[in-house]
Amino acid sequence: MRKGRDPLRPQDVEREPMSIVASIRNAIPPIHPEGHKFIAIFAVATFVIGWFIDPLFWIGLALTIWCALFFRDPVRVTPVLPGLVISPADGRVSSIGMAVPPPDLGIGSEPRLRICVFMNVFDVHVNRAPVTGRVSRMAYRAGKFLNAELDKASEDNERNGLVFELADGRTVGVVQIAGLIARRIVPFVREGETLVVGDRFGLIRFGSRVDVYLPAGSVARVGVGSRSVAGETVIADLSGEGAVPVVRIA
């Protein structure tokens, strides 16, 4: 008779620690490569200063952890139903209303529905395409570093604009605006590239806002003060019709 095998096999014992490690690894969001050098700088400075002044080590360690979290780039599940506009940024919806797009976008001087998402220094700062389309224009403009929540920041602050041309010819403008602490807007794409909704297109260091200018007939699906998740939260409907799927908003 064939002998039965012990239900607790040696290979199962060996796999158990690996599954725990995998679970921990999966719980930690990946870090965008743009942040590696900054995390390294924070870490080295922490050990050097902490070697001479012990209390400062713990402060530096906390700042290093914050830096790593700042550059986190979690996986997102993006709704792909036609007509939906997905949030390009994590953060709080700070403004919804009609506004004239910046002239450098080249999408006309008629007011459009504008939805602004403000990112604080604890939000994910990787920005994602709100729609599927070709990047028909990119326009960078140097400027000031005012508080990004101020309305005049859209005119005075350093910014980088992208125009997404949809399959039907309509356009959606997206403007990355540097803030009080932010000192650089980092683009990941070039003019002429075609992006799918949810694709990463840039990052802003260290905290600011993203404005979305929508074509006529669009309807906002979020309210001022609500939280949005880049690549997941539906912020508007281009058709003004249809049900919006239930998606994560915080």
pLDDT at residue 13, as a whole number: 45
**pLDDT per position as a tens digit, 21-70:** 555 555 566 766 776 677 787 788 888 887 888 788 778 787 777 667 66
Answer yes or no: is 245 within a domain.
no
Answer yes or no: is 250 within a domain.
no
Please check whether residues 120 and 44 belong to one and the same domain.
no
Q: Could you tell me the residue range of the domain that residue 203 belongs to? A: 84-237
Answer yes or no: is 56 within a domain.
yes
Q: Can you give the CATH number for the domain in which 217 is found? A: 2.70.70
Which residues form the catalytic set? 208
Please check whether residues 60 and 93 belong to one and the same domain.
no
What would the 3-class secondary structure string for the chain be?
Answer: CCCCCCCCCHHHHHHHHHHHHHHHHHHCCCECHHHHHHHHHHHHHHHHHHHHCHHHHHHHHHHHHHHHHHCECCCCCCCCCCCEEECCCCEEEEEEEEECCCHHHCCCCCCEEEEEEEECCCCCCEEECCCCEEEEEEEEECCECCCCCCCCHHHHECEEEEEEECCCCCEEEEEEEECCCCCEEEECCCCCCEECCCCEEEEEECCEEEEEEECCCCEECCCCCCEECCCCCEEEECCCCCCCCCCCCC
Answer yes or no: is 170 within a domain.
yes
Domain boundary (20, 36, 70) is at: 70
**pLDDT per position as a tens digit, 127-147:** 999 999 999 999 888 755 555
Please check whether residues 110 and 64 belong to one and the same domain.
no
Please check whether residues 40 and 129 belong to one and the same domain.
no
Confidence of residue 209 (pLDDT cuts 50, 70, 90): confident
Please check whether residues 223 and 100 belong to one and the same domain.
yes
pLDDT at residue 3, as a whole number: 46
Please check whether residues 182 and 66 belong to one and the same domain.
no
Average pLDDT over residues 154-162: 76
Overall domain count for the chain? 2
Please check whether residues 30 and 88 belong to one and the same domain.
no
Please check whether residues 132 and 203 belong to one and the same domain.
yes
Confidence of residue 75 (pLDDT cuts 50, 70, 90): confident
Please check whether residues 104 and 201 belong to one and the same domain.
yes
